[in-house]
Amino acid sequence: MSKTILVTGGAGFIGSNFVRYVLEKYPDYKVVVLDMLTYAGNMENLPQQYMNPGNNGHGRLSFWYGNVRNGELVDTLVSQCDTVVHFAAESHVTRSIYDNWIFFETDVMGTQVVSNAVLKHQDRIDRMIHISTSEVYGTARAELMDEDHRLMPMSPYASAKAGADRLVYSYWATYQLPMVIVRPFNNYGPYQHLEKVVPRFITSALLGEPLTVHGDGSAQRDWLYVGDHCQALDKLMHAPMDNLKGEVINLGTARSISVLEIAQMVKEMTGTHSPIVFVGDRPGQVFRHTSSTEKARNLLDWQAKVKFEEGLERTIAWYRENRKWWEKGIWLRQIPIRTAAGKIEMH
């Protein structure tokens, strides 16, 4: 059966990869993107060949410029769809240290607006997939973090996302809405904003500039290739909803790699002579994060396929080939913050 999917934040990194994935894989699906095109959103991320106006009005992708907090607009768009995939958020941990008001406004209140629209149009909504984050857990208390790990968000970004995550859960618990929550671990891949660590390292290496590592670089993360994430969401859109309502599902690989190791791999794979330099640690740093993958395997029959080394090679190739896309954003790679030691530093 064909679907019409509302994708909030569809002009961002993961959202646009998902939009492209859906339109390429399902020739009869339609996608409606709502995006406010903040500094992180970019029309060039969207596959233009599917766009409505560019295709004599016959495209399967329509784009709405607007704020996810605009109740009337969100209401109208939800009323035209059967599936909602909610990505829209302020998404950068470091930026949330520097200026956090907008994080609570977009990530929490925006999620409330979307959830309220789903409540109003529950007769036609098959499911809402909420994109939360593994950051809600804080530093790992066990080798592998499962979905019952306690929530100890360590940054304003993580706490805003924890609020949104539990808000969505409560709409299932209170109104029995078809809500499902995913907690992806660190994503990387094409179209990722340069402020995030993997593209920051890659573009610094390609420019011959130093690769800047926070603290001693020992902070470890579980790295998920964005294409694997899209496949998990595909499974989630099509699995029987009875098993999924109100569930939280981690999306990760069960392997963690330190930031310093990534810097070293990027150096090796690009062949750059750029040095690795160290700056103060980020306040509220999470030191280790590795996903348990059992629940995703059991509920969705999904597991990540792309090994980090292979995903990194693909990502480096993409940034090499798409210099025009990223060159104008070079200045956004770093932002000033006050470090744990009280110093103002560019991070």
Exposure of 341 by Cβ count < 10 A (0-12 exposed, 13-18 middle, 19+ buried)?
exposed
Contact between 190 and ligand NAD by CB under 6 A: the answer reads no
Whether residue 129 contacts residue 180, with contact meaning beta carbons closer than 8 Å, is answered with yes
Dihedrals φ, ψ of 264, to 5°? -65, -40
Contact between 59 and ligand NAD by CB under 6 A: the answer reads no
Contact between 189 and ligand NAD by CB under 6 A: the answer reads no
Task: Work out how close the CB of 123 gets to ligand NAD at its nearest, in angstroms, rounded to a whole number.
Answer: 25
Rank residues 91 and 274 by Cβ distance to ligand NAD and give the closer one: 91
Rank residues 14 and 125 by Cβ distance to ligand NAD and give the closer one: 14
Contact between 35 and ligand NAD by CB under 6 A: the answer reads yes
Whether residue 127 contacts residue 176, with contact meaning beta carbons closer than 8 Å, is answered with no
Contact between 112 and ligand NAD by CB under 6 A: the answer reads no
What's the rounded Cα separation, in Å, for the pair 182 and 248? 6
71-90: which residues touch ligand NAD (CB under 6 A)? 87-90
What's the rounded Cα separation, in Å, for the pair 120 and 140? 38
Whether residue 219 contacts residue 258, with contact meaning beta carbons closer than 8 Å, is answered with yes
Contact between 236 and ligand NAD by CB under 6 A: the answer reads no
The closest residue (CB) to ligand NAD is 12
Q: Which residues pair with 8 in a beta bridge?
A: 34, 86
Query: Beta 336-338 vs 276-279: how paired, if at all?
Result: unpaired
Contact between 133 and ligand NAD by CB under 6 A: the answer reads yes
Mark residues 304-343: x for contact with ligand NAD by CB under 6 A, - for none: ----------------------------------------
Contact between 131 and ligand NAD by CB under 6 A: the answer reads yes
Contact between 230 and ligand NAD by CB under 6 A: the answer reads no
Contact between 220 and ligand NAD by CB under 6 A: the answer reads no
**Residue 93 Cα distances to 140, 150, 220, 253, angstroms:** 17, 20, 15, 21
Out of 94, 106, 115, 290, the residue judged to bind ligand NAD by CB under 6 A = 106
Rank residues 151 and 210 by Cβ distance to ligand NAD and give the closer one: 151
Rank residues 177 and 182 by Cβ distance to ligand NAD and give the closer one: 182
Whether residue 287 contacts residue 222, with contact meaning beta carbons closer than 8 Å, is answered with no
Contact between 21 and ligand NAD by CB under 6 A: the answer reads no
Strand, coil or helix: what is 172? Answer: helix
Task: Work out how close the CB of 201 gets to ligand NAD at its nearest, in angstroms, rounded to a whole number.
Answer: 14
Task: Work out how close the CB of 129 gets to ligand NAD at its nearest, in angstroms, rounded to a whole number.
Answer: 11
Mark residues 146-175: x for contact with ligand NAD by CB under 6 A, - for none: ---------------x--------------
Contact between 197 and ligand NAD by CB under 6 A: the answer reads no
Query: Which residue type occupies 147?
Result: E
What's the rounded Cα separation, in Å, for the pair 316 and 270? 8
Contact between 187 and ligand NAD by CB under 6 A: the answer reads yes
Out of 3, 29, 38, 258, the residue judged to bind ligand NAD by CB under 6 A = 38
What's the rounded Cα separation, in Å, for the pair 308 and 313? 9
Rank residues 90 and 281 by Cβ distance to ligand NAD and give the closer one: 90
Q: Give per-residue burial for 267-299: e unless 16+ CB within 10 Å, then b.
A: bebbebebebeebbbbbbebebbbbbbebbeeb
Contact between 40 and ligand NAD by CB under 6 A: the answer reads yes
- Of 151, 116, 119, the C-alpha closest to 132 is 151
Whether residue 93 contacts residue 282, with contact meaning beta carbons closer than 8 Å, is answered with yes
Q: Which residues bind ligand NAD (CB under 6 A)?
A: 8-9, 11-15, 34-38, 40-41, 67-69, 87-91, 106, 110, 131, 133, 161, 184, 186-187, 193
